[in-house]
Amino acid sequence: MALGLTLLIRAKAVELKLAVERKWFIALIAGYVWLFILYLVWMLAALYIIPAPVGT
């Protein structure tokens, strides 16, 4: 993954000097964080380390 992101920057496919491109690069990283949190919460709920949401 790191290799791929480095490649994008080195190839200037992501032009970090442009604000809009920086925003998109941050969104990309945020996507990984989001998935990490999603899976973390899911696993903790599965293990009952945090209570699963209760509803009807």
Partner 1 sequence: MQVLGTPIDYIIVGLYFAGILAFGAYFSRFTKTTHDFFFGGQRFAWWLITFSLIATGIGSYSFLKYAQAGFMRGMSSTLTYLNDWFMLPLFMFGWLPIIYFSRIKSIPEYFARRFDERVRFLATIFTLLYLLGYIGLNFYLLGLAMKTLLGLPMFITVPVVAAVSAVYVMAGGQTAVIFTDLIQGFFLYIAGAILLILGISHLGGFDAWWSHLDLAHRLPFPGFNRPHDFNYAGIFWSEGVVGTLAFTFMNQGFIMRYLACKSVYEGRKTMTVNTLVFMPISAVVVGNLGWFAASMVFKGQLPPDINPKEVFVTVANIVCRPGIFGFVIAALTAALMSTIDTLINASTAIAVFDVYKKMIKKDESDKHYLRASRIFSLVSTVIGMILVLLFTQSRSIFDAHYTFVAMITPPMLVAIFLGILWHRFSARAAFWSMVLGAIVTFTTGFFPNLITPLASTHGMDKGKTAVVAWLSQDVPDAPEGVHSMFHWQEKVDAGDPTSYFVEFEAKADFDTETPKYSGKAQAFQRVDYVDEKPIYRYSATLAGLRPRTSYVFRIVDDAGTPVVDASMNLVEQYLERHPELESTQFPRPIKLEFTTGGKYGYFRGLFSLVLVLILALIITPFTSKPDKSRLSGLTLWTIAEGKRFFKGGTPNEKPGKPVKVVFEITDESAEAGLRLSDSDLSTLSAQPGDLLYVSDIRKRLGGLRSLHIKAGESHTEIGKAYIPKVLWEESNLLTELPMRVEKIM
Residue span 14-53 as binding mask against partner 1, x where in contact by CB under 8 A, dash where not = xx--xxx---x--xx--xx-xx--xx--xx-xxx----xx
Task: Report if residue 12 touches partner 1, rule: CB under 8 A.
Answer: yes
How many of the chain's residues bind partner 1 (CB under 8 A)? Answer: 32
Spell out the alpha helix ranges (H) of 1-56: 2-10, 19-46
From its phi and psi, is residue 7 left (phi > 0), alpha (psi between -120 and 50) or beta? alpha
Residues forming the site for partner 1 (CB under 8 A):
1, 4-5, 7-8, 11-15, 18-20, 24, 27-28, 31-32, 34-35, 38-39, 42-43, 45-47, 52-56
